[in-house]
Amino acid sequence: SMDDAFDRADRLWKEIGGAFPIADNPSASPDELLTLSLYLRRCTRPTDRVFVQHYIPQVLALAERGFAGGHADLRPGFFENEQMQRLTVARLKMQSVPVALVGASDDLGGFRHSFPIVVSYLDQQFENVAEHTFDGRFPIRLLVNRNARVSGRFQPLDWPCFRP
């Protein structure tokens, strides 16, 4: 089944993440994509999932976090039909997803137009709290789940943490 495949993919990502450990180096540059992985690893629980709009699979692999919603590639042209979008939202509702990382442009880079059902859920359930450009080419907006409890801040980004 699809869910078995996602579980297998999750396990594989965890193994890959374990094979390429990243140092817990607090002096990481805030502008590096690696810092985003460090943020996710340090500020979310291992059982949390993270929704990512950009195609940056290495971030979740290094952070050792599963992809929320079930599709690791939600670019326009992939998984756009209504049934797939509803399935993605149903999964997001069942999973612990404290944060979502989306594009920083107003239309989320065509994402809003291509995935109106998913974006409508994000609009309703998440709050836009920060924005940062990584590696000079990934402008990322941090959305925080309205149900997530903030436990502190992550430097060097000054982003909220959700891990006790």
Q: What is the pLDDT along the chain (164 residues), one digit of tens a residue?
A: 656 666 666 666 556 555 555 556 555 688 888 899 999 999 999 999 999 887 787 888 888 888 888 765 555 555 568 888 898 899 999 999 999 999 887 666 577 888 899 999 999 999 999 999 998 888 999 999 999 999 999 988 999 999 87
The CA distance from 135 to 31, in Å, is: 6
- Would you state the pLDDT for residue 105? 73
Distance CA 98, CA 59 (A): 16
pLDDT digits (tens, 9 = 90+) for 104-142: 876 665 778 888 999 999 999 999 999 999 988 889 999
The model's pTM: 0.79
Share of the chain residues as helix, strand and coil, in percent rounded to the nearest 5:
40, 20, 40
16, 60 Cβ separation under 8 angstroms: no
What pLDDT sits at residue 3? 66
- The neighbour count for residue 37, using CB atoms within 10 Å, is 22
In the prediction, which pLDDT does 22 show?
58
Q: Is 57 exposed, middle or buried (CB count within 10 Å of its CB: 0-12, 13-18, 19+)? A: middle
pLDDT at 68: 87
Q: Are strands 99-103 and 159-161 parallel, antiparallel or unpaired?
A: unpaired
